[in-house]
Amino acid sequence: MPTTITLPQHPFGTEITTADIIAQMQAATGWEDRYRNVIQLGKKLPQLDDSYKQDQLKISGCESQVWLHHQIIDDRYYFIADSDARIVRGLITLVLTAYHGKTAAEINRFDIDTYFENLGLIAHLSPSRGNGLKAIVEQIKQLVQQ
């Protein structure tokens, strides 16, 4: 039986929903405003303790260092992640809002591409940031397939 540890708590996927994030981003007056919103969201993400910053928890394909840890409780996936870059911490919150606390079926059913399109961010990210964001999503999808 796997050991259960307590993950740091964050509001993404629980108090802050995808609908909240979409509304906030669509109310933004331009790319700079959206960028500020993403940075502010990233500030609500708790920093991971160094014990979580292990090589096997690193996501490859990201320009910045990104660590992702998950736990399954009652068939629901709970995630905590961190990065050494402020904008990436914010991008992580967008992904966690979509997937945290969901079942594998809910994660697989969620249309992440439409969600990102509704946020109006992807076109403004550098190719490496966009690829990193996709790498985070792909890692989560691989975890729920196991």
Q: Record the pTM.
A: 0.90
Q: What is the pLDDT of residue 49?
A: 86
Of 137, 132, 128, 126, nearest to 31 (Cα)?
126
Contacts of 141 (CB under 8 A, 6+ apart): 107, 108
Q: How confident is the model at residue 123 (pLDDT cuts 50, 70, 90)?
A: confident
Which whole number is the average pLDDT over 17-27? Answer: 95
Q: Record the tokens describing residue 118, joined without a space.
A: 């509704």
Q: Mean pLDDT over all residues of the chain?
A: 90
The arithmetic mean of pLDDT across residues 37-59, rounded, is 90
Greater model confidence, 122 or 35: 35
From the list 11, 3, 7, the residue with the least C-alpha distance to 77 is 7
Residues labelled catalytic: 62
3: pLDDT strictly greater than 80: no
pLDDT at 13 over 80: yes
- pLDDT value at residue 4: 55
* CATH, range 18-145: 3.90.1010.10
Query: If we measure between CA atoms, which residue out of 48, 35, 146 comes closest to residue 94?
Result: 35
